[in-house]
Structure 1
Amino acid sequence: MSTITPSAQTCRSAVMPILDLDMLRTFVAIAESGSMTKAARVVFRTPAAISMQVKKLEEVLQRNLLERKSRSIALTPEGEILLRYSRQLLKLNEELVGQFLCPRLNGKVTLGMPEQFGSNELPAILSQFAKSHPSVQVDVVLGKSIEIKQRFENGEIDLALISHNLHVTPDTILKTVRLEKLVWAVSKNSDAINQSPLPLALAEHGCPWRTLALEALDEAGIEYRIAYSSENCTGQLAAVMADLAVAAVPESLVKPPLKKLGHTNRLPEIGYAQTSLMLSSSANEVTLVLKDFILQVLDPRDMKADAPESVNESQAHIREALEHLKI
């Protein structure tokens, strides 16, 4: 492939080609993933199709853009230049289209959610929302679900995520965004699990995790003592890491060096906790747009195969409520 640089006179007199944004988007995906296969999944094309797009780009620009290696793909110096301009063009295109399809919003919205969402889902929500609506101010309130729900009902919060027992469905529920199994979390080489009465690290009163855990232990006739009580899950897990107690938490929070207890252990099944989105009936446009972003980020998880019938009944109840509200 020729690498001869055209003269300035030739560029001025010739009709310059117009690059396809779709090809540039594919090129950026390849550069960022370092793989044709991974890039194909990002742009929803086959590896053969995106390979043809790159070949077309190289023909139009008369430059080699990629260095094919055995296990990865690297950019040539010319490819680095194209990557920088491609990102600028794609960003400009996004802004241009947004001016017509996404009218600029202004205002403020207050979002409330449990503490466990703060480190994982919250950054993704705020990042995506800020890109499309930079003029909107989002105030975030993190706290216990019972407090978030109370502040929502007092009109202090516009949009709220709360965790609650499946058997307690708020009247102002909008949509279930998460259904997660509660498990017993212990340290890797736990001694606390062998103690009697069983030492527990629990959330404070009003938390559905606490309620479901104690109900399960009482029903199984297992003696326990509340060794630690914390306002948030971080405090619970800290006590478990120190092997001072056992905690009942959502399965997603159990990460090394912690482990969850399986069915072979003597502790009973706890049940499921549900996270739902609450929206004020008088929500303004800004709140409704943020609500849509949250529903995109927090897609409801698939139901577990071993989920109890009460879970399915709760889901049916929610669907009926949504149809009634015509949401």
Structure 2
Amino acid sequence: MASPIKPGGTQARSALPLLDTDVLQSFVAIAETGSFTRAAQQVFRTPSALSMQIKRLEEMLGKSLFVRGARRVALTPEGELLLGYGRRLLRLNEETVAQFLAPALEGRVRFGTPDDVGTRILPDVLAQFARSHPAVEVDVTMGASLVLLSRLDEGELDLILVTADGDGELAGRGEAVHSEPLVWTCREGGAASQRTPIPLALANHGCVWRKTALSALDRAGLPYRIAYTSEHCAGQEAAMLADLAVAPFPASLVRPPLRRVGMEIGLPPLGDYQVRLIRRAACGPACDALAGHVTNRFMAGGRH
């Protein structure tokens, strides 16, 4: 029988195979955990079942996706490429199903976040949430974590993201959705890190970055002076770019011409900080839906 003819006279190509979302979930879990065993626990399958899924996926794509080490598996260049596509496909699948199965939501959610966190995730989160729940209005407030917590407790906000350390006022509130190192940062080739006492660019009182940095310097007995204070992390960044100060900064935000400094110039380690998601009690289904989008954004992005 003759091959089907497309309009215009060209023959139809053979259909490409379709990616299975269950297999993509397993692949993304392995990539993010670096382990077949840990990934198996996340997706409720056995490690051997995941191995078979990945073998069939590699055969279908004709590419090796993982380099298997003694303690950890790593992505090949082709695996890194697939990870980006896989995350987007899974998010799109979730949005599509939610559009048809989730009840229509209406109302308003008052959402608060520090600027350093909000500027990283809000564009994606708000765009996806608007597609899934177009009738919900989202009011965004940016501010310091302790101020946002006070406004939540007073009923002025429904949902907030805050930065926290392991033992502060915010440590036991809500759920941890992200964790990453806090590092000393300065301008590449600059002189600020060589000055004594060391000049610091810090956020306002109450910021966990400020508290962590000053506590670490005090424990190490290192002299410092607070040269610049800013409500927003953009102010700290400006002081560093001008080579006027050193600042505690999230590792994910350190980009050229900024660089990390530390032990090589005698600065103490700062450890990790958390981003915590806190909801007002009985804030409603629209708030819960937005909280889900925020959590998924951090899970999909891994470490920023």
Same-fold call, TM cutoff 0.5: yes
Which residue number in structure 1 is paired with residue 57 of structure 2?
A: 46
- Alpha-carbon distance, 1:279 to partner: 1.0
Q: For residues 244-270 of structure 1, what are the alpha-carbon distances to aligned partners after superposition, in whole Å with 9 as ceiling and x for unaligned?
A: 010011111111110001432211112
Structure 2: gaps (5+ residues): 10-14, 22-53, 63-91
Distance 1:110 1:46, change over 3 A: same
Instruction: Give matches, 1:1-327, under 5 Å.
Output: 3=5, 5=7, 46=57, 49=60, 98=98, 100-170=100-170, 173-299=173-299
Residue 256 of structure 2 aligns to a residue whose secondary structure is coil
Kept in 2, the 8 Å contact 1:177–1:301? The answer is: no
Change (3 A) 1:98 1:153: closer
Partner of 2:28: none
SS in 2 for 1:201: strand
Offset, 1:211: 0.8
Change (3 A) 1:232 1:106: same
Percent identity among equivalent residues? 40
Q: 1:176–1:300: 8 Å Cα contact kept in structure 2?
A: no
Query: 2:165 touches 2:171 (CA, 8 Å); kept in 1?
Result: no
Return the offset for 1:133: 0.6
**CA distance 1:139–1:172, shift in 2 (3 Å):** farther
Question: Is the 1:178–1:301 contact (alpha carbons within 8 Å) kept by the matching residues of 2?
Answer: no
* Counterpart Cα distance in 1 of 2:114 and 2:4: 59
Find the aligned partners of 1:6 and 1:253 in 2 and give their Cα distance.
52
User: Once the 2 structures are TM-superposed, how far is the Cα of residue 165 of structure 1 from its aligned partner?
Assistant: 2.2
Moved over 3 A (4+): 1-7, 22-26, 44-51, 97-100, 169-172, 300-303
In the TM superposition, what is the alpha-carbon distance from 1:170 to its structure 2 partner? 3.4
Q: How many Å separate the matches in 2 of 1:5 and 1:278?
A: 56
Aligned length: 238
- The C-alpha deviation readout for 1:69-96, integer Å capped at 9, x for no partner, is xxxxxxxxxxxxxxxxxxxxxx9xx77x
Deviation (angstroms), 1:238: 0.5
| Distance of 2:212 and 2:99 partners within structure 1 | 49
Instruction: Return the alpha-carbon distance in structure 2 between the equivalents of residues 109 and 129 of structure 1.
Output: 11
- 1:14 match: none
Q: Aligned in 2, Cα 1:3/1:116: closer, same or farther, shift over 3 Å? A: same
Q: 1:25 to 1:132 in 2, by over 3 A?
A: farther
From the superposition, tell whether residues 141 and 228 of structure 1 become closer, same or farther in structure 2 (CA, over 3 Å): same
The whole-number CA distance in structure 1 between the counterparts of 2:151 and 2:163 is 14
Summarize deviations over 1:211-235 as a string: whole Å, max 9, x none: 1111111111111111100001100
Q: Report SS of the residue matched to 2:263.
A: coil
Check 1:301–1:220 CA distance in 2 against 1; reply closer, same or farther (3 A cut). Answer: farther
1-side partners of 2:267 and 2:300: how far apart?
28
Q: Is the 8 A contact 1:186 1:243 kept in 2?
A: yes
Q: Could you say what secondary structure the match of 1:290 adopts?
A: helix
User: How far off its partner does 1:50 sit?
Assistant: 7.2
- Report the CA distance shift for 1:46/1:221 in structure 2 as closer, same or farther (over 3 A): same
Give the whole-Å Cα distance in 2 for the aligned partners of 1:302 and 1:48. 27
Alpha-carbon separation, structure 2, partners of 1:47 and 1:193? 48
